[in-house]
């Protein structure tokens, strides 16, 4: 049963499991104690820190273990902002950061700070110029992910780091998605990561703070982990995290090349096998194992359910699969279609057969969902009016776009269709549909009970 959501959580790497077992026997005591069990725990902790620091590319005394990647981000952002409070209160983040970074930014704004979001292009990448424009004399910290967790696009971290260095602003790099594949090759100031993303155990994040970076830990004091991560050390998991990071790194080059081929295959075949699909993210500058695409006229939750029934576990940024009924902020920032969204992230060891099996199942699953929604082959209809207005109030994604697609043939080339919708996703998906179909998106205007989106037919 192939599991294709390793970007959410990876099954435990065999090396992590072995190390965890051993450390449960040897490393349960308090490493601050002077007796033999404590000294043994201290040796294990020191060795794990050395190994993790080597993999990160920093000194051991620059790295602490936290209870999760989210904790690493929250702690890193808060500590760096507080350390430079006198410089100013501006935090600069990309629009496509992980929610842990954006939530830390929200907390900063709620506490009176300012937050500037750097936009991304349609492939999901920031530009160094975007950071240069955002940085100011009052910027305390900039954050940028090494690679995007939803679409796989690799960010120009080295170039952004240069821009930040020139402005004297520390850069925090969230390396959660990429650290298992290699070091972040850039002069970052702070770096965060999460062990369960590379096959390590849950419960462990990494926070590295370069010497010389001003850092003031927030929250109650605690003497452990250089005062940067409170609570009793989860030593067995730390040992397992460090051991598995070394192990996946040893395999990274070969496995990356192998998975890159499989993902290229998915990118090509999905575009060919599934009608009305948009494969998103950068085709070249990307994570080796991750690909995301969106299918027009498809309800993401139903599609995930169909794929799950067929034995494939994937994830989605569609609004209907989120508890808030809003689409992924990443897809929104990129301005790409969110309906029928599927993220495939291959675990290490995924076979070509498993990928081929997925590609066999997918077209039928998409077609099945479309059939349920009553989406058939486009029927040639005669135009009935120069302009039409559709009342799609109360309809949820993907229905407003389906209604629009049905109606566009009923106006002549040059004519307009206006969709009245109260579904927040329409704001993203109607322009994205226009871009995919080549129609002109004329814009939106407020209406009682919703928003009117107007499209001009071009062909």
> Could you please report the per-residue DSSP string of 397-417?
TTHHHHHHHHHGGGS-TT-EE
Q: Which of 234, 328, 421, 451 binds a second copy (CB under 8 A)?
A: 234
- Between residue 319 and residue 338, which ones bind a second copy under the rule CB under 8 A? 321, 323
| Partners of 114 in the β-ladder | 90
Q: At what angle do helices 99-110 and 69-83 cross, to 10 degrees?
A: 40
How many angstroms separate the CA atoms of 185 and 203, rounded? 26
DSSP code, position 331: H
Residue 119's φ and ψ, nearest 5 degrees, are: -70, 170
CB under 8 A: which stretch of 68-76, 179-187, 399-407, 448-456 binds a second copy? 68-76
- Is 295 one of the annotated active-site residues of the chain? no
To a second copy, the closest distance from the beta carbon of 177 in angstroms equals: 14
Largest CA distance in the chain: 87
CB under 8 A: which stretch of 69-77, 150-158, 417-425, 433-441 binds a second copy? 69-77
- Between residue 188 and residue 207, which ones bind a second copy under the rule CB under 8 A? 194, 196, 201-203, 205
Q: Which of 164, 320, 397, 434 is catalytic?
A: 320
CB under 8 A: which stretch of 146-154, 260-268, 281-289, 308-316 binds a second copy? 308-316
* Residues in the chain, overall count: 459
What is the DSSP pairing of strand 440-447 with strand 290-295?
Answer: unpaired
Regarding 273 and contact with a second copy (CB under 8 A), the answer is: no
Q: Which is nearer to a second copy, 40 or 122 (CB)?
A: 40
**Contact in structure between 117 and 95 (CB atoms under 8 Å):** yes
3-state helix, strand, coil in the chain (%, to 5): 40, 20, 40
Q: What angle do CA 119, 122, 127 make, to 5 degrees?
A: 45
Site string for a second copy, 82-121 (x = CB under 8 A): -----------------xx--xx-xx--------------
Instruction: Label residue 371 exposed, middle or buried (CB < 10 Å: 0-12, 13-18, 19+).
Output: exposed
Regarding 345 and contact with a second copy (CB under 8 A), the answer is: no
| SS3 assignment, position 442 | strand
Regarding 1 and contact with a second copy (CB under 8 A), the answer is: yes
Regarding 34 and contact with a second copy (CB under 8 A), the answer is: yes
Regarding 235 and contact with a second copy (CB under 8 A), the answer is: yes
**Which residues contact a second copy (rule: CB under 8 A)?**
1, 3, 5, 8-12, 17, 20, 24, 28-30, 33-38, 67-71, 74, 78, 99-100, 103-104, 106-107, 194, 196, 201-203, 205, 219-223, 230-237, 301, 304-305, 307-308, 313-315, 321, 323
- Which residues does the annotation mark as catalytic? 320
């Amino acid at each position: 049963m192939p599991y294709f959501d390793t970007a959410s959580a990876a099954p435990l790497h065999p090396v992590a499991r072995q190390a965890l077992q051993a450390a449960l026997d040897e490393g349960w005591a308090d490493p601050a104690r002077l007796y033999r069990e404590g000294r043994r725990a201290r040796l294990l902790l020191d060795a794990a820190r050395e190994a993790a620091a080597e993999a990160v590319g920093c000194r051991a005394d620059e790295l602490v273990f936290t209870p999760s990647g989210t904790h690493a981000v929250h702690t890193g952002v808060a500590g760096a902002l507080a350390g430079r409070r006198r410089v100013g209160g501006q935090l600069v983040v990309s629009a496509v950061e992980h929610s842990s970074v954006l939530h830390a930014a929200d907390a900063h704004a709620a506490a009176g700070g300012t937050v500037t979001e750097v936009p991304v292009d349609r492939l999901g990448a920031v530009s160094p110029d975007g950071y240069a424009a955002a940085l100011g004399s009052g910027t305390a910290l900039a954050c940028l992910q090494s690679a995007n967790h939803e679409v796989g696009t690799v960010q120009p971290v080295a170039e952004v780091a240069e821009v930040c260095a020139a402005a004297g602003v520390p850069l925090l790099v969230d390396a959660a998605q990429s650290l298992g594949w290699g070091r972040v090759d850039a002069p970052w100031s702070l770096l965060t990561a999460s062990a369960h993303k590379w096959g390590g155990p849950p419960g462990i994040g990494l926070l590295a703070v370069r010497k010389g970076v001003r850092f003031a830990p927030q929250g109650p004091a605690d003497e452990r982990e250089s005062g940067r991560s409170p609570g009793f050390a989860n030593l067995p998991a730390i040992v397992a995290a460090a051991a598995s990071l070394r192990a996946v790194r040893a395999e990274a080059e070969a496995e990356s090349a192998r998975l890159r081929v499989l993902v290229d295959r998915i990118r090509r075949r999905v575009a060919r096998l599934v009608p009305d699909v948009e494969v998103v993210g950068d085709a070249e500058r990307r994570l080796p194992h991750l690909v995301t695409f969106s299918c027009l006229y498809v309800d993401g939750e139903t599609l995930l359910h169909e794929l799950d029934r067929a034995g494939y576990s994937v994830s989605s940024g569609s609004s209907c699969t989120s508890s808030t009924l809003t689409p992924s902020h990443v897809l929104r920032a990129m301005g790409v279609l969110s309906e029928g969204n599927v993220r495939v992230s291959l675990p290490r060891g995924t076979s070509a057969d498993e990928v081929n099996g997925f590609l066999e199942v997918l077209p039928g699953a998409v077609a099945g969902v479309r059939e349920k929604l009553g989406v058939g082959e486009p029927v040639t209809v005669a135009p009935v009016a120069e302009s039409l207005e559709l009342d799609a109030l109360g309809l949820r994604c993907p229905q407003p776009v389906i209604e629009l697609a049905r109606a566009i043939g009923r106006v002549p080339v040059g004519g307009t269709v206006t969709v009245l919708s109260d579904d927040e996703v329409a704001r993203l998906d109607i322009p994205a549909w226009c871009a995919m179909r080549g129609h002109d998106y004329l814009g939106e205007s407020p209406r009682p009970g919703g928003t009117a989106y107007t499209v001009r037919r071009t062909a």
